[in-house]
Structure 1
Amino acid sequence: MNKSKLKFAAIISGIMLSTSTAFAALDDVKQLKMISYNAYNGMQLDQSEGKQKFIQWAKAQDADIIAWQEMNFFTREKLEKFAASYGHKYAVLLKESPDDAAFFPVAITSKYPIIHVNKVIDNMWHGALYADIGKYHFVVTHMNPFWTAKRIDEINLIIDSIKYSHDPNGKWIIAGDLNSFSPADKTEYDKSNLLEDIKEKQKKRPILENLVDGQLSYTVQQNLLDAGFIDVLKLKNKNFVATAPTKVFYDQASTPLRYDYIYISPMLKNDVMDVKVLKDEFTDNYSDHYPVQMIIKNN
């Protein structure tokens, strides 16, 4: 065999080896770490070029997958570069409008290929990003912050999209800022000033309709639970753990809230190893929400 043929064969072998390694990598991992994080208005509190503070934090977490919310001012190219900086070769942004401060896109980044992407913005306030990573189906969303009725419509859309999908009984993970209350936290909210806080806010901003008949609504979360989805934080932590506000934004809310969730389908219940709200010096000060982390067995 001449040199040119040997060189060609070596290149082909290298490509095949690289490709087979890339696609086998996810199956070789024994567990997966996922984080869902509302990063506050395009990571506004990180003024460094390229968001280096967030990059350093993400590197330290070494998550396999991160679901981001409020990725304002990001473009596809910026997101891909940002994700690559903390070791994620794959990144998908729901929508982009670099100059619109009220756009609030969600995104997902991963060490492993992100496939079967579906970007849904119709009939939703911020939208929902559907994507598969290996055998897992992800839905990343950020629900309407103003009107309970609209949030109910949005969650019903997500539930139906899964129900009538090609794999309704598969491994589904729903993550994001759902801007709504869980019935599992009702006892905590009943003894707090939350209802009075919301009533006062609605007096100041008549556009808000976050109560139903003057009371807190748990319908969004209840619909998810009735559809069989599992609130993983409650699966592993029976006590109330707030995800907002953070220390830097404490003056924005007088009552601790849980707005940030990861829900899973029943098939994944026995695979959940650990769930926590990540509270550290960085997350105290760089967003108004704390991130939620889940670790699952990769079966």
Structure 2
Amino acid sequence: MNKPRLLSLAVIAGMSLLGYASLSCAQEKLETKKEIKVISYNAYWGMKSDKSEGKQKFIEWAKKQDADIIAWQEMNHFTRDSLEKFAAAYGHKYAVLLKESIDPKDDEFFPTAITSKYPIVNVRKQVDNLWHGALFADVGKYHFVVTHMNPFWTSKRIDEMELILDSIKYGNDPQGKWIIAGDLNSFSPLDKSGYNESVMVKDLTKKEQERPILHNLVNGKMDYTVQQNILDRGYIDVLKHKYPDTFMATAPTKIFYDQAKTPLRYDYIYVSPVMEKDVVDVKVLKDDFTDQYSDHYPVEMIIKNN
């Protein structure tokens, strides 16, 4: 074998080793990171409040947050390609969309999505028997479920959450590190002290009279079954875990205040019992941007990466 040939092989081998080293470093970043920041955000009807091409206002906001993983809801009109470009603009190399409408003009199509600085693997897209669907995906050792529950019927929401919880229970790693995030369109029993039920029942009754499709009251009362069922399975409502005596609403925001007479909490992050001690901080992100660009506020969680 001549010397140029040997030199070429050496260069190729060196490049391969460098590539392998680079890949190893990329894989090690998540493993060696001490803390991970997760945000869940219902972005309102495909971010329709952001009129800029490519949703630059949302990109600027996401850059400032510098989250490791973002769970999005209401990603109307996004495609696989546009989501990947959108996520890349704020530093997330990986992005997965739950579903994509065949009609680009369909304004009633509400997919969820997940974007991440790190590889998103073991993706499963559950749309059967769910109003909007649920996106199951892993980032490292963390199992995510990103969902947006039925906005019209409490009974349907109960069935949807049972499906999600049983999917975990009978899955491959039921005792693992699970994170359920999204707009669950339901009330938590842990928030009872923060609600004036008589006022809320009156408001919800009026809405049901105006829109017959709505069946959110049960026997004329507020219902807490969806959230209670999650708690009964041992999952930790991270916001209440961190601030058990404080009510923090996630809707409506300042420019959507006409949507509800009473502040509500519809947006949740739950973690499985094994992660209870990993929760470092949780907050509802309220700033000049989130006041205006969606009808929901995002929820942020920081966890120890044990």
Q: Normalising by structure 2, what TM-score?
A: 0.96
Matched residue, 1:270: 277
Residue 15 (1) aligns with residue 19 (2): yes
Aligned pair count? 299
Counterpart pick for 1:94 among 93, 98, 102: 98
Structure 2, unaligned runs of 5 or more: none
Write the deviation string for residues 66-101 of structure 1: whole angstroms up to 9, x where unpaired: 000000000000000000000000000000113211
Q: Distance in 2 between matches of 1:53 and 1:232?
A: 28
Equivalent position amino acid for 2:248 in 1: V
Q: Is the 8 A contact 1:67 1:107 kept in 2?
A: yes
Residue 188 (1) aligns with residue 202 (2): no
Q: Is the 8 A contact 1:192 1:255 kept in 2?
A: no
Counterpart pick for 1:39 among 34, 43, 54: 43
1:193, distance to aligned residue in structure 2 (A) = 1.7
Matched residue, 1:58: 62
Counterpart pick for 1:218 among 214, 224, 227: 224
Equivalent position amino acid for 2:128 in 1: D
1:3, distance to aligned residue in structure 2 (A) = 2.8
1:191, distance to aligned residue in structure 2 (A) = 5.2
1:14, distance to aligned residue in structure 2 (A) = 2.0
Counterpart pick for 1:207 among 189, 205, 213: 213
Structure 1's consecutive aligned runs of 4 or more residues displaced over 4 angstroms after TM superposition are: none
Residue 230 (1) aligns with residue 236 (2): yes
Counterpart pick for 2:169 among 163, 166, 170: 163
Counterpart pick for 2:115 among 109, 127, 131: 109
Structure 1, unaligned runs of 5 or more: none
Question: Residue 240 of structure 1: SS of its match in structure 2?
Answer: coil
**Structure 1 vs Structure 2 CA RMSD:** 0.9
Q: Distance in 2 between matches of 1:10 and 1:283?
A: 48
1:6, distance to aligned residue in structure 2 (A) = 2.3
Question: Residue 135 of structure 2: SS of its match in structure 1?
Answer: strand
Q: Normalising by structure 1, what TM-score?
A: 0.98
Question: Residue 215 of structure 1: SS of its match in structure 2?
Answer: coil
Q: Distance in 2 between matches of 1:211 and 1:18?
A: 55
Q: Distance in 2 between matches of 1:99 and 1:81?
A: 20
1:24, distance to aligned residue in structure 2 (A) = 1.1
